[in-house]
Amino acid sequence: MARLAKLQLIGPLAVFSAVVCAELAAGALARWPTSETLWRINLAWFQAFQKSSYAIETFETATCSQLWIVAAPLFVLAICGIAYKRPLLLATASNLSFVYACVVLYADCLYSRSWPKGSLPAMIMTSTSDLLLLVVLVASFLSFLISHVYYIRAIRAGA
């Protein structure tokens, strides 16, 4: 598989890593609820993923549902795409990771009731949670973009 195709793994990997870290932080907080450090980590870094977890819990009440319903299947789909040399599986995982990152952003805006404005001061990141969400969005968008470039090149080469 071409190097460009393997770069599509960036998006699913970023989503999977962020969700695993968010679930680990939430699990540690459930185990040690009096830890001030865990509260700060959970609220400072993983607030957006906590809000998207609330959105998912309206449909599914299982623990770690964000991990088992979204992140793990996307990552497994991407790994299977690389292992079996099936670029469509990898591209699907890449595109869906970008969709999920957008859903996390939407849930973050929905639950905080503060929609981003179109001005420059609104573009400034206000917390580390926003920074982590930005990293996941950029990584999944790059993966999304690479999958489209890969397929455009494949179509041009075949035509």
Q: Give the CATH number, domain containing residue 108.
A: 1.20.140
Domain count along the chain: 1
Query: Which of these ranges, 25-39, 54-68, 74-88, has the smallest mean pLDDT?
Result: 54-68
Range of the domain at 47: 3-114+121-158
Q: What is the pLDDT of residue 101?
A: 92
Who contacts 74 (Cβ-Cβ below 8 Å, separation ≥6)? 12, 15, 16, 93, 96, 97, 100
Confidence of residue 26 (pLDDT cuts 50, 70, 90): confident
Rounded CA separation 93/89 (Å): 6
pTM recorded for the entire structure? 0.81
Rounded CA separation 103/87 (Å): 24
